[in-house]
Amino acid sequence: VDFVQGVLASNPLQSDYFFWIDGGFAHGLHKRFRYRRVIGRPWPNPQKNDLMKDTILVVQTRDVHERRDIVGVFTYHDAMLSGNIWGGDRKRMLVYCSEFKTELRWAFEQNLMDDDQAVMTAVYLKHPEMFSLVDCSSSLRDRGYMLKYLDGR
């Protein structure tokens, strides 16, 4: 999250919005017919910028209210949010980075560790107002769902 926070703070593209996309996220997407229409043109579609204003968009993989036990999220690899593609309002994301570090420290103090999605879920459970959830629970294996959500077509 230090890398993300550094890019957000320096804002080299002078943008109000930022997205984290894991390096391997798009591996194989060109072979999938359903994503061919989002390749080779601007993304997110500028007409969808209002969906990112004052919020962080994150893919919800299942009902976030199913489990409120944050220790269980870490212990049982039970995160409800996906960390492969997320983003939105740059200022809101700077706050998120700070909260992420707080929750990461807490996890270390509790001798808990899972992955970035567990920490993201911990931040969400304490600060749901920071996020807008993009529900892909019905198509859980659709790792490109956010691509379609912010596409212009």
Q: pLDDT tens for residues 64-105?
A: 777 668 888 888 887 788 888 899 999 999 999 999 999 999
Query: Are 131 and 60 a contacting pair, CB within 8 Å?
Result: no
pLDDT score for 96:
97
Which comes out higher in pLDDT, residue 103 or 140? 103
In the chain, what percentage of residues exceed pLDDT 70? 81
Please name which of 132, 80, 127, 131 lies closest in space to residue 103, comparing C-alpha atoms.
127
Please name which of 130, 124, 132, 138 lies closest in space to residue 150, comparing C-alpha atoms.
132
User: Does residue 19 have a pLDDT over 60?
Assistant: yes
